[in-house]
Chains A and B, each alone.
Chain A
Amino acid sequence: MSVQNTAQDEHFRAGKALGLDHLKLGMWLFVGSEVMFFGGLIAAFLHYKVNTPSPVETALLDVTLVGINTFILLTSSFTVVLGLARAQNDDRAGLMRFLGLTALLGTVFLAGQVYEFVALYQEGVTLSSSVFGSSFFTLTGFHGLHVLIGVGWALATLAKAVRGGYSRDDHIGVEIFGLYWHFVDIVWIVLFTIIYLI
């Protein structure tokens, strides 16, 4: 009976009908819901930016610093892609190197954000200084939280690679992490544009 069941398991295997791995599909759906979550926070930011502008506080934003930070985060997306390519070539050492680099770049981005927040607080822009401050710190803070989770995820992926995980045939874990990390990056491009550039 159990032998038969094992043979039949082939028929029950998930993910064959759509030609898309079920883990990837699940991650895409989760990313879709995350888009809506950030959509809500972005709507709040834009609503207050239009209706209750704070030109003095907005002028205090350090576009150069955050521009460099943006570049760092974008680079980290590139390193994830390189890491995945290494995994697909069975080059585990290369994968580990690029995952480590990704986590490092993410951490540098977070450090830059903390530096920016501290500087703004010293200038008097706080969560309670105005609706601009409220929506600015909430929106960028929740993005920072996502980067923090992403750094943790990168390190967990790295730890699995160190223990001998991932290979040419098994790199879905890296891909799924990559999907999340690219999403966090793309959200930041949107945030950088609406907060700092327009």
Chain B
Amino acid sequence: MSVETPTASKPIEWRRYFRWNTDHKVIGIQYLVTTFFFFMVGGALAMLIRTELAQPGQDLLNGVEYNRFLTNHGSVMIFLWIIPVLAGLGNYLIPLMIGARDMAFPNLNALSFWLIPPAGVLMIASFFVGAAESGWTAYVPLSVTAPMGQTVWAVSVVLLGFSSIFGAINFVTTVLTMRAEGMGFWDLPLFVWGMLATALMVLLATPVLTAGLVLIAMDRLAGTLFFAVAAGGNPIFWQNVFWFYSHPAVYIMILPAMGVISEVFPVFSRKPIFGYKAIAISSMAISVLGLTVWAHHMFTSGMNPALRIPFMITSMIIAVPTGIKIFSWLATMWEGKLRFNTPMLFALGFISLFLIGGITGIFLASIPVDLHVHDTYFVVAHLHFVLFGGSVSAVYAALYYWFPKITGRQYDERLGATHFWLNFLGTNLSYLPLFVAGLLGMPRRVADYAPEFAIYNQLATLGAFLLGISTLPFLYNVIISWIKGPKAGDNPWEALTLEWQTSSPPPEHNFETAPVLSRWPYDFGEKVSPADASEASASAGD
């Protein structure tokens, strides 16, 4: 009520963020803020888990509670944070980057977002009816016998799947049909390539998870026998279906992140990206190859041993396109004029942390190593280096990099650097010791452990709290800078992609005149002042 002040004669800006709005920039911000909220929920669950594991013995949570917190930590982080936050970046950036006014299907886009809050509420609220407790992997028969909350969980994940699929339809259609004049496929910013590869993967893999969740829901609610072993049902079938989605999902969570990194390095190195086509093609290669590797999660499940070899080989082949990207980024920085702003720090953090995650992934793809460390903390450490060290670092890089574009204001570099170092140290402290614990044989997903693992767990718990604390300077920075940060100007990083050639924040229709691409987005080398850039886009207007 108190907002009805004279200033309210202008449309009250903030209200549109709580309403059905079809502007991709509003939807993008809705995505980013909502998913960051869920990130903090997932983080709180993680800290509860780490508190329980701070010392041997069950003290804070009993086994069932532990399983529930663990399941929802994983599910929230994956389905409500990383996957949708990257979709949120895509939403905000893709139309701007390709010179379009909006997405191809603005209403479908709004629907994609508005599926997320109810799905998130369902997932959290499932704690009131006995939350899901079979891990984010929902292995049967556990997920068939678990209490009511498991059904709610499945509904929530299916809703989020629809959100992803609708988003992917929008991304592909937008990129294929709405590019600015003069923008061919080889002029697309690499973030757009990453999102394109991701969207194709979402379209092919997510519906299969939906089908699998339908089978679980049918077993739970309609008395079907898909996973009832006594009647001829087969739990391994679920694992095949689940990983057919969930291994590609790893690439769904990393390809847009790699796209972000490919935007940051050239801008902060003042050099053209090295191997543009190789990076673009490797994204597409990962999205195709990624569909052929799923059974490497099942080496110990009793699958046909002869089939393990081809899955080992395809899994290891993925290292090739990934390596192409990493070497291209390093070559981009080589002899560049590096600027160590916060986005660059997080991009560098991404490379070093993701590398650890990626290389341990090759260990795990190797059958003999996997048989040894399967279901130990080695796997936990590996996936957190990939998804936290990798994806989350890239999301932070993106949030800092595009903060001036989204808000029109500049964030505080000192707080940004503080955030980076806390985050970087916290990540290493949390997950490096877990590699050791895993190699020594500590099993994952158990509330208790043998005393000999205590030191590694204490370090990891310390790291987890450091990570929790590291979000405080970030939140403070974002909120204060958004309200009263210094004006950033339209193109503070002197970047060449189209989103920087319009005002910050962009006007409702993104560009006053339809942009025509006149130069490649990575033509660095000569200094481009913002004045030149805006001149270029102005002359491109006819």
Interface residues of A (CB under 8 A from B): 4-5, 8-9, 11-12, 14-18, 20, 22, 25-26, 29-30, 32-41, 43-44, 47-48, 51-52, 127-128, 130-131, 133-135, 137-138, 142
Contact = CB atoms under 8 A, between A and B. Distances in A.
B207 A36 contact: yes
Interface stretch (B175-183, B259-267, B293-301): B175-183
23 contacts: A8-B512, A14-B100, A15-B178, A17-B177, A18-B176, A22-B177, A25-B177, A26-B173, A29-B172, A33-B169, A36-B203, A36-B205, A36-B206, A37-B211, A40-B207, A40-B241, A44-B241, A47-B237, A52-B234, A128-B223, A130-B225, A134-B226, A137-B224
A20 B178 CA distance: 11
A5 B178 CA distance: 17
Interface string B196-238: 0000000111111011101100100011111010011110010
A33 B211 CA distance: 11
Contacts of A142: 214
A5 B225 CA distance: 60
A131 B172 contact: no
B95 to A, nearest CB: 10
A52 B232 contact: yes
Interface in B156-195: 165, 168-170, 172-174, 176-179, 181
Given A15-B104, A29-B172, A52-B234, 11 more contacts: A4-B513, A8-B513, A11-B181, A12-B100, A26-B169, A29-B169, A30-B169, A33-B207, A48-B233, A130-B231, A137-B224
Greatest chain B CB density within 10 A among A22, A47, A130, A137 is at A22
A40 B224 contact: no
B223 A11 contact: no
B514 interface: yes
B509 interface: yes
Contacts of B212: 40
Contacts of A127: 218, 222-224
A41 B205 contact: no
A93 to B, nearest CB: 31
Interface of B: 100-101, 104-105, 108, 165, 168-170, 172-174, 176-179, 181, 203-208, 210-212, 214-215, 218, 222-226, 228, 231-234, 237, 241, 244, 509, 512-514
Contact of B514 (A11, A14, A39, A44): A11
B211 A8 contact: no
- For the complex, would chain B's binding face be called helix, strand, loop or mixed by DSSP majority? helix
B199 to A, nearest CB: 8
A113 B28 CA distance: 44
Contacts of B224: 127-128, 133-135, 137-138
Contacts of B179: 17
B232 A51 contact: yes
A35 to B, nearest CB: 8
A44 B169 CA distance: 26
Given A17-B176, A37-B208, A134 B165 contact: no
B214 A43 contact: no
A33 B203 contact: yes
A134 B225 contact: yes
A126 to B, nearest CB: 8
Contacts of B509: 5, 12
A40 B173 contact: no
Contacts of A8: 512-514
A17 B218 CA distance: 44
B214 A47 contact: no
Contacts of A37: 207-208, 210-211
B319 to A, nearest CB: 26
A14 B208 contact: no
Contacts of B105: 22, 26
B178 A14 contact: yes
A40 B172 CA distance: 23
